[in-house]
Amino acid sequence: MRNSEPGALRFVLVASAFVLCGLAVYLIRDNNLRWAVAPLVVGVGAMVLSVSRRQLSTPANSSTNVSTCPSEPVQLSLRMPQIDDSPVEAQPKIRVRVTEFNLGAAGILLSGLLLGLSLREFGLEEVESRTLAWYSYGASMIILIVSLPTIEGRWTAVWQAIRHRDGLHFSLNALMPWLMLAGILTLGAGLRLYNLEDLPAGLWFDEADNLLQAREIVRDPGNLKVYVPSTNLPSMFLMPIAVLIKLGGLAITTGRLASVAFGLLGIVTAFLFVRFILGTWPGLIAAFLVTVMRWDINWSRIGMHGITAPLFAALTAYLTLRALRSERISDYGFAGVSLGLSMWFYTSLRMFPLVVGFLLLHHLIFQRPVIRDFIGRVTVMTLVALVVAAPVVQFAIDESEQFFARADTTSVFTLAPRDQVADRLQDSLVQHALMFHAKGDPNPRHNIPGEPMLDFLSGILMLLGLGIALWRWRDIALISLPFWVFFMILPGVLTVPWEAPQSLRAISVIPAVAAMCALVITVIWSAGRSAPWVSIRRATTPFVLALLGTIAYLNVDTYFGEQADNPEVFASFSTDETLMSRHMTEQQRRGYSIWVSRQFLFGLTSTLLANHPRFEIIKAPETIPLDSALVWR
């Protein structure tokens, strides 16, 4: 009986925490913040107490330990075998490694030369074609990525591992997580591709501008610049859109298909990140939560840069933690590649180095590595990041006024009087903190105006996960999650005050939120399975599945139901111009004259989708009724 008491107590604590936190979220959503404090504090305290003396284990009884030794290797279901560094024949192996190191060093040198050529070409003010610059930069990056593991002899080590084991062999059990991830991605693709042409109902101006710029790339690839002034962002996101236009022509779905691809890749990187810090099953849970999250679905179906942020945030965090664990120079280099590449995409990712810096600082304080070696590895990471982002950095230096123009015009420091900045920042920070559970983004293109960004159940899980992460402050992976959320809502906090909360600029928090939710679901499963009552143990798995299914239903039903039918959402995507352009195209095909109101004279959406239609402007009352002599056939 005594042996069952800890399991019973833990189950009661977890169940109580879930119920009390659910009450708190209900009160928060009902704008009763004061009444929500007590159940929230008690609920989070009960959850923390339930895990305070217990390792956080995964549902598959994984040996992953995220509580006491975060830098230890994580035991995963599918991983390349560890490579034995003991030489079979000492002299040949040394010779191979020296040769491989020399090849790697030569590759890095060649990469640097190509990058220098690229920067020289990009820096020219008057140039007939930038083709040489782009090819040089692309070749430089490929050579750099291949050379990083080469300098440590990792290619040779992989080849020896394959040769000694007569090839690579994977069991069905080892492949199962990846098959399940493939199923999750299939679900994600379906949710993001379904009725993509008509939902959102219109082609918003920014989407249309991306299509227009991508079409110009197709027409004149050599004229592609590093930075596109009309989008106020680097041009990398436009490249896959240009490829899609080249392959299938221009359509309303062209840019959205690129966003779907980035959204699906974001699901994969969320899986990799959470699998690394918690285990395989939590990783799959986090991937599922990102897949069905309305916030992520919304931006995966709009052809804009924002959806790239969760992808690179999760990838950079995963590679950084992996580098801290392995202490390999090449892993630090790969983390730098991801960080540098993120600078080519959405603006809010420029804040993510704060998250990386927090990870490095935490590791330095609590793991106490050899300072000289640690500084050297971090220097490699920093240099590689600067190399990958070099064309963007060069443009930011040469054309700083243009590069930072958008940031300056939307900054709270520019828009608010100096004596009001502190108050505006405090108000915006509170609004962004409450957007998950109380009042979300008011912009109908981003959200159902005012609707919380998370569903009711995900809101409960996030708050409980936040409590666990803060309690486990010595765990580098867990404590990084609340700081990740804090740092990555700052792009919204520091910008236009009257747009707060701004979910697009804060979109990088999605992987961290999913990780905290997956953590709590793992704790719930573990508590249920360790309960002394047979009925509870049997009901645990169905309960977790029902919980995930309910979260999926709430998000999917809200997006394709309430959000799709909301009149503000419907009208906010340049919907009138989109519908007009379709009508113009049809009527032109039938040979009719087109007369439109003045508002459509310079409409980018209608001009783009209707392929520069010929029309006349209605000038009331002079041209009403229409004079038949003015109508062409």
Structure confidence by residue, pLDDT tens digits, 519-533? 999 999 999 999 999
pLDDT in tens, 326-359: 999 999 999 999 999 999 999 999 999 999 999 9
Quote the CA–CA distance of 143 and 136 in Å, as a whole number.
11
- In the chain, % of residues over pLDDT 70: 87
Find the mean pLDDT for residues 423-452.
94
149-185 pLDDT, tens digit per residue, is: 988 878 777 777 777 766 666 677 888 999 999 999 9
Three-state SS for 495-552 is ECHHHCCCCCCCHHHHHHHHHHHHHHHHHHHHHHHCCCCHHHHHHHHHHHHHHHHHHH
Q: Rounded to an integer, what distance in angstroms lies between the CA atom of residue 94 and that of residue 164?
A: 18
Which position has the higher pLDDT, 191 or 80?
191
C-alpha torsion 356→362→368→371, nearest 10: 40
Q: What confidence category does residue 95 fall into, taking pLDDT thresholds of 50, 70 and 90?
A: very low
**Candidate from 159-168, 281-290, 381-390 with smallest mean pLDDT:** 159-168
Tell me how far apart the 2 most distant CA atoms of the chain are, in Å. 98
**pLDDT tens sequence across 299-334:** 999 999 999 999 999 999 999 999 999 999 999 999
Q: What is the pLDDT of residue 612?
A: 64
Q: Phi/psi at 183 (nearest 5 deg)?
A: -65, -40
d(CA 103, CA 97): 10
d(CA 270, CA 76): 15
**Stronger pLDDT, 506 or 599, i.e. the higher one:** 506
Once rounded to an integer, what is the mean pLDDT over residues 521-546?
Answer: 94
Surface-to-core class of residue 3, CB atoms within 10 Å of its CB (0-12 exposed, 13-18 middle, 19+ buried): exposed
**Count of residues in the chain:** 633
pLDDT band with cut points at 50, 70 and 90 for residue 627: low
**Amino acid code (one letter) for 41:** V
The domain locations on the chain are 90-164, 172-571, 575-630
Which pLDDT value is given to residue 568?
94
Average pLDDT estimate for 390-397: 95
Q: Are strands 233-234 and 595-596 parallel, antiparallel or unpaired?
A: unpaired
CB 585 within 8 A of CB 613: yes
Position 409 pLDDT exceeds 60? yes
Contacts of 119 (CB under 8 A, 6+ apart): 133, 390, 391, 394
The whole-number pLDDT of residue 500 equals 86
pLDDT band at 282 (very low <50, low <70, confident <90, very high): very high
Q: Is 218 left (phi over 0), alpha (psi -120 to 50) or beta?
A: alpha
- Residue 66: is its pLDDT beyond 50? no
What pLDDT does residue 92 have? Answer: 40
Residue 462 has pLDDT above 80, yes or no: yes
Asked if pLDDT for residue 623 goes beyond 70, the answer is no
Q: Choose among 43, 130, 28, 134: nearest CA to 465.
A: 43
Quote the pLDDT of residue 173.
80
